[in-house]
A = this chain, B = another copy of it.
Amino acid sequence: MTARTPARKLRLNAFLMGVGHHEAAWRHPRTEPARVTDVRHYQHLARTAERGKLDSVFLADGLALHGNVRHNALAGLEPLTLLSALAAVTERIGLIATASTTYNEPFHLARAFASLDHISGGRAGWNIVTSAGEAEAHNFGRERPAHADRYARAAEFVEVATALWDSWEDDAILADRRAGEYADTGKIHALDHAGAHFRVRGPLTTSRPPQGHPVLVQAGSSEDGKEFAARFAEAVFTAQQTLAEGRAFYADIKGRLARYGRHADELLVLPGISPIIGSTEREALRLEKELEDLIVPAYGVQQLSNLLGVDLTGHPLDAPLPDVPQATEGQQSRLKLVTDLARRERLTLRELIGRLAGGRGHRVVTGTPEQIADRIEEWFTGGAADGFNVMPPLLPSGLEDFVDHVVPVLQARGLFRTEYEGRTLRENYGLVRPASRHARRTAAAS
């Protein structure tokens, strides 16, 4: 027998979105649309994901009513309050919330994530977004910010937030009752940060989070977004349609880490996958067809119009997608993905809408549990993924099917854990707990 290195394991995140990722999910008989604002629905989802030993659950967010609520069940809850209610009914699973750096203050957000990390015993993660949309700007008395400005603000925001998390050293609390000394104030530090976007004195009002810093996640795929990820992110959610694209993105982002003094293991690449699962391939295809038949074309046209910045209302559904302006680097990378897809496969407007309805540009994989597992294994072993952002088309049923039928296949193949490695999200993601910058300074000086 030869010595074996521990097998590399998949990381799996469950992306929770209302009653499912398919835009017609709310019309399908296996969902209950009233549950989009029902905390018990999300608690059931989090518990189901934890039963499957998934690493984390994730909530997206937007600060305006995107899309057309006339035809989709968009009436969700605020992610941080919701995750806190999920923390209360789970023990091990990570809890990742989206929050914007463009319309928040670092003190508020650092404090809320520190609280979530305390409340969950070290299971918080922050998906950092920069809020591109005009509708969001108008809810905060602002105009749409320039792309580069958003990322400059985001970088300074993250620097301030991490400094606030470090503002209490891990051993700042003495709780010495006899001497009447609760904290060693020499280990609680002001920041006196004064930058281009923020002036923050600090310290935080909350002691250092259990994970040191909640896990930093990012999902932008523009040039600025990838550079931001390489500098700060510990996990990246990304939409990649083909294995070749997935490999190219993976190599690209991992290749950027060295210039920030980081190792490839310090960032997990998690492409999105929307698995349409059947006990037979035929059953899976039937479910896919059922969902396709429930699409409201007017909704798809509006979503696509918003994304492309071109009003497609009245354009014939069975004609090819008309020419739209080329995506520039500063624009949303999702726009490029969509126009590339339409051109490559010469899709009609209706076909394109159908392709996007499943995962908004994320990869949809339809088949048996074994077939889904094959596609996961192919990307994982083929240099395109460290794991996946799982986007079930229907919730809860799609997540239950994934946990009950796909996870056991992945476990049998030795690709996925059968028990949690640790108690914190960092431990399960295999990420190091960052030392406080003040502790590092002390260590360096001694």
The answer for the CA separation of A34 and B184 in the assembled complex, in Å, is 15
Chain B nearest CB, measured from A139 CB (Å): 5
A178-209 interface (Cβ within 8 A of B): 180-185, 188, 198-207
The answer for the CA separation of A188 and B64 in the assembled complex, in Å, is 13
CB contact between A70 and one of B111, B183, B202 (< 8 Å): that residue:
B183
The answer for the CA separation of A159 and B309 in the assembled complex, in Å, is 34
The interface residues of chain B lying within 8 Å CB-to-CB of A43 are: 88
The answer to whether B88 touches A27, judged by C-beta atoms less than 8 angstroms apart, is no
The answer for the CA separation of A77 and B177 in the assembled complex, in Å, is 22
Does A33 sit within 8 A of B, measured CB to CB?
A: yes
The interface residues of chain B lying within 8 Å CB-to-CB of A199 are: 138, 141
The interface residues of chain B lying within 8 Å CB-to-CB of A200 are: 138-141
The interface residues of chain B lying within 8 Å CB-to-CB of A141 are: 198-200
Does A240 sit within 8 A of B, measured CB to CB?
A: no
The interface residues of chain B lying within 8 Å CB-to-CB of A114 are: 78
CB contact between A177 and one of B26, B69, B118, B201 (< 8 Å): that residue:
B26
Chain B nearest CB, measured from A231 CB (Å): 23
The interface residues of chain B lying within 8 Å CB-to-CB of A115 are: 77-78, 81-82
Oligomeric state, in copies: 2
The answer to whether B205 touches A81, judged by C-beta atoms less than 8 angstroms apart, is no
With contacts A118-B39, A200-B140 taken as known, whether A74 is within 8 angstroms of B177 at the C-beta atoms is no
The answer for the CA separation of A65 and B167 in the assembled complex, in Å, is 11
The interface residues of chain B lying within 8 Å CB-to-CB of A72 are: 182
Does A135 sit within 8 A of B, measured CB to CB?
A: yes
The answer to whether B108 touches A104, judged by C-beta atoms less than 8 angstroms apart, is yes
The answer to whether A88 touches B188, judged by C-beta atoms less than 8 angstroms apart, is no
Chain B nearest CB, measured from A326 CB (Å): 30
The answer for the CA separation of A203 and B205 in the assembled complex, in Å, is 32
Interface string of A19-42 (1 = CB under 8 A from B): 000000011000001100111000
Does A228 sit within 8 A of B, measured CB to CB?
A: no
Does A296 sit within 8 A of B, measured CB to CB?
A: yes
- Of A34, A39, A188, the most chain B CB neighbours within 10 A belong to A39
The answer to whether B198 touches A26, judged by C-beta atoms less than 8 angstroms apart, is no
The answer to whether B118 touches A182, judged by C-beta atoms less than 8 angstroms apart, is no
The answer to whether B63 touches A181, judged by C-beta atoms less than 8 angstroms apart, is no
The interface residues of chain B lying within 8 Å CB-to-CB of A202 are: 139
Does A239 sit within 8 A of B, measured CB to CB?
A: no
With contacts A81-B119, A118-B77 taken as known, whether A69 is within 8 angstroms of B139 at the C-beta atoms is no
The answer to whether A70 touches B182, judged by C-beta atoms less than 8 angstroms apart, is yes
- Of A68, A112, A141, A173, the most chain B CB neighbours within 10 A belong to A141
The answer to whether B207 touches A119, judged by C-beta atoms less than 8 angstroms apart, is no
The answer for the CA separation of A383 and B317 in the assembled complex, in Å, is 71
Q: Give the top 9 A-B pairs by smallest Cβ distance, nearest first.
A: A88-B88, A141-B199, A78-B115, A84-B84, A138-B201, A81-B84, A180-B296, A77-B115, A75-B207
In the assembled complex, 14 residue pairs joining A and B whose CB atoms fall closer than 8 Å, in A order, are: A34-B175, A37-B207, A68-B185, A70-B183, A72-B182, A73-B182, A75-B168, A75-B206, A75-B207, A78-B115, A78-B206, A81-B115, A81-B116, A180-B294
